[in-house]
Amino acid sequence: MTTTLITGGTVVSATGRAVADVLVDGETIRAVLEPGSTLLGTDVAASVDRVIDAAGKYVIPGGIDAHTHMQLPFGGTEASDTFETGTRAAAWGGTTSIIDFAVQTYGQRVEDGLAAWHEKAAGNCAIDYGFHQIVGDVNEDSLAAMRRLPDEGVSSFKLFMAYPGVFYSDDAQILKAMQVSRDTGMLTMMHAENGPAIDVLAQQLVDQGKTDPYYHGIARAWEMEEEATHRAIMLAKLTGAPLYVVHVSAKQAVEQLAWARDKGQNVYGETCPQYLYLSLEEQLGAESEQWGHFEGAKWVCSTPLRSREERHQDAMWQALRTNDLQMVSTDHCPFCMKDQKELGLGDFRKIPNGIGSIEHRMDLMYQGVVTGEITLERWVELTSTTPARMFGLAGRKGAIQPGADADIVVYDPNGHTSIGLEKTHHMNMDYSAWEGYEIDGHVDTVLSRGKVIVDGDEYLGAKGDGRFLKRGLSSYLV
């Protein structure tokens, strides 16, 4: 068992910060000590195997990205990051746990969908991983199977009000699934967009010859997100299910969440970096020599990028401050332009939906600290502490405290990170949705359960380091 002392850094939690030494014993955190402490009469620094000097740096709990899609079959292709490449990229960016979405497709048994996901991930991950369950076919068999998911350490499931013919559930199916959520304490996660209406709008746009990527965002109007969010809230209220709305991007959807929360309903929401930083106008303006107007396909995701003129981005930052939104995940769902996004040349409906950001979430959110949108403590809370509490990992992940897994990031506020093309990131993508972003801050050292896996420019981890996380029920439920 290796012992490590991380000395002199500013240890940041969701509730405060202090200069302290962190003692790691094997895979867990043993103690948070005053700098230069002695333990049982001996100088701690002199008695450990390894000392990491963190003076002038932040020492934070490793990031938890609770919304990823490694190897997701989608839109006639498959998300380009495997569990191996995607979790390694996550580690480079200071994320030490992911919760990915196991998929039950239409006609498939839930158990088989989950087993297939275990097969994809087992032995391949660089960091610890858990699963939510996508239920793409709510029927009597799957409802029964869902009741057994908590025993498997899968304490949340996702339903889709979008994508008719793929993952879509109608209101009757949602109601039944939410009754399972109420009975079991599993969190209902919702993709809240009115899919059937969106599909009509999309068809009409294509009929008018409006096929460029930008029209993806026009078809998926904010009204469709507001309406679905409200409907999900009301179905959750009726059934008593706890509700977590994923990838919130419209300010009107946030208003719905705030309204429900103010009434005391158990409703939560996340947003993603793309909805904080990127906009529909920039997507409209995107053009390159290689791709022409199809350049905009790089930012096709659902929910879509929103109008900056309508100030959706400002509303997302505000909601992160007021706690109307509780977390930031990436919805990491990468596709290459070549052979993948390209499938939608001439018809935006055929562009596989998704953006890759897993490597940049901690950095991008730290920019919110730099620009004064959020505090240092809120940064840690949004990216690590709340995800752990929300998804049944409290005590093990999301905080630097005795007994917790030693998932720790040493973050240098005086460092710098340039995000460029595929050459400067580690995700399996042939472009970056974040090309040109300059970050004031740098992930210096990453420990995953006590093992240093990133040390400056060196990757020291290995495929298979990561273990499956059997999760408990959410700490947000009573």
Contact footprint for ligand URP (CB under 6 A): 69, 191, 247, 301-302, 331, 333, 353-354
CA-to-CA distance for 131 and 116, rounded, in angstroms? Answer: 12
Q: Which does 301 bind (CB under 5 to 8 A by kind): ligand URP, Zn ion, none?
A: ligand URP
Q: Which does 68 bind (CB under 5 to 8 A by kind): Zn ion, ligand URP, none?
A: none
We find the least distance from the C-beta atom of residue 193 to ligand URP, in angstroms, to be: 9
We find the least distance from the C-beta atom of residue 247 to ligand URP, in angstroms, to be: 6
Q: Closest CB to ligand URP belongs to which residue?
A: 353
We find the least distance from the C-beta atom of residue 455 to ligand URP, in angstroms, to be: 32
We find the least distance from the C-beta atom of residue 362 to Zn ion, in angstroms, to be: 13
Q: How is residue 357 written in tokens?
A: 């950001």
Query: Could you tell me whether strands 267-271 and 327-328 are parallel, antiparallel, or unpaired per DSSP bridges?
Result: parallel
We find the least distance from the C-beta atom of residue 287 to Zn ion, in angstroms, to be: 27
Q: Which does 412 bind (CB under 5 to 8 A by kind): Zn ion, ligand URP, none?
A: Zn ion
We find the least distance from the C-beta atom of residue 238 to ligand URP, in angstroms, to be: 24
We find the least distance from the C-beta atom of residue 352 to ligand URP, in angstroms, to be: 8
Closest to Zn ion by CB, 211 vs 353, is: 353
Binding footprint of Zn ion on the chain (CB under 5 A): 191, 331, 412, 415, 442, 444
Q: Which does 354 bind (CB under 5 to 8 A by kind): Zn ion, ligand URP, none?
A: ligand URP
Closest to ligand URP by CB, 191 vs 442, is: 191
Q: Which does 57 bind (CB under 5 to 8 A by kind): ligand URP, Zn ion, none?
A: none
CB 29 within 8 A of CB 10: no
We find the least distance from the C-beta atom of residue 333 to Zn ion, in angstroms, to be: 6
Closest by alpha carbon to 411, among 380, 371, 387? 380
Q: Which does 415 bind (CB under 5 to 8 A by kind): ligand URP, Zn ion, none?
A: Zn ion
Q: Which does 213 bind (CB under 5 to 8 A by kind): ligand URP, Zn ion, none?
A: none
Closest to Zn ion by CB, 103 vs 404, is: 103
Closest by alpha carbon to 35, among 2, 8, 13? 8
Q: Which does 353 bind (CB under 5 to 8 A by kind): Zn ion, ligand URP, none?
A: ligand URP
Closest to ligand URP by CB, 211 vs 353, is: 353
Query: Could you tell me whether strands 451-455 and 438-448 are parallel, antiparallel, or unpaired per DSSP bridges?
Result: antiparallel
Closest to ligand URP by CB, 69 vs 397, is: 69
We find the least distance from the C-beta atom of residue 467 to Zn ion, in angstroms, to be: 23
Closest to ligand URP by CB, 344 vs 354, is: 354
We find the least distance from the C-beta atom of residue 304 to Zn ion, in angstroms, to be: 11
Q: Which does 442 bind (CB under 5 to 8 A by kind): ligand URP, Zn ion, none?
A: Zn ion
Q: Which does 449 bind (CB under 5 to 8 A by kind): ligand URP, Zn ion, none?
A: none
Residue 274 to residues 331, 341, 433, 452: CA-CA distances in angstroms? Answer: 9, 17, 9, 29
Three-point CA angle 317, 322, 323, nearest 5°: 95
Which residues, including other chains, have CB under 8 Å from residue 220's CB and lie 6 or more apart? 193, 198, 302, 303, 304
Closest to ligand URP by CB, 301 vs 400, is: 301
Letter string b/e over residues 153-182, b meaning 16 or more CB atoms within 10 A of that residue's CB:
ebbbbbbbbbbeeebbbeeebbbbbbbbbb
- Count other Cβ atoms within 10 Å, centred on residue 90: 34
Closest to ligand URP by CB, 13 vs 87, is: 87
Closest to Zn ion by CB, 190 vs 376, is: 190
Closest to ligand URP by CB, 193 vs 227, is: 193
Q: Which does 444 bind (CB under 5 to 8 A by kind): Zn ion, ligand URP, none?
A: Zn ion
CB 134 within 8 A of CB 186: no
Closest to ligand URP by CB, 191 vs 298, is: 191
Residue 366 to residues 323, 428, 452: CA-CA distances in angstroms? Answer: 17, 23, 22
CB-count burial class (<10 Å; 0-12, 13-18, 19+) for 331: buried
